[in-house]
Amino acid sequence: MMLLFLHVFANLLWVGGLLGMGLVLSGSGVSPRERGSLALRLYFTLAVPGMLLSLAAGGARLVMGYQLFFVVTHFMHGKLLAGLLLLALHHLLGGRAKRMAAGRSESAVGVKLMTVGVALAAAAASILAVLKPF
């Protein structure tokens, strides 16, 4: 149960950090460089630690319950796909934050779409984990 708790807690940090980054990067009222710097703080204080802990705790659960998650039930295939999408969006948002903080980009084009993608992928993973439909 401790691994499950750690996995869920880590996902709260990870997804919360990514959603916060998306809101900050796509905001207005301050310079793109300032938005990028604030988003980078969220990235390194919430999103990265949350992602690492989520992957470690979730990976440990997968190894310990391989038979259950991949042979007896099949919901984990979809959940892992949602997790991979979150991982890709994590790196895309992090890269955008780094470019904006360094002054190499002032554009937040696509950030809102990435943020919606984070929310949808997290919702899909949550639904699959709770309902275990297949």
- pLDDT, tens digit, for every residue of 46-87? 999 999 999 999 999 999 998 988 889 999 999 999 999 999
Q: What percent of the chain has pLDDT over 70?
A: 100
| pLDDT of 110 strictly over 90 | yes
CB atoms within 10 A of CB 134: 10
pLDDT at 133 over 90: no
128: how many CB neighbours lie within 10 A of its CB? 19
Q: What percent of the chain has pLDDT over 90?
A: 85
Beta strands in 54-119 (DSSP E): none
- What's the confidence (pLDDT) of residue 108? 87
Q: What letter would DSSP give residue 109?
A: T
The pLDDT score that the predictor gives to residue 134 is: 85
Residue 20 predicted with pLDDT over 90: yes
The amino acid occupying position 81 is L
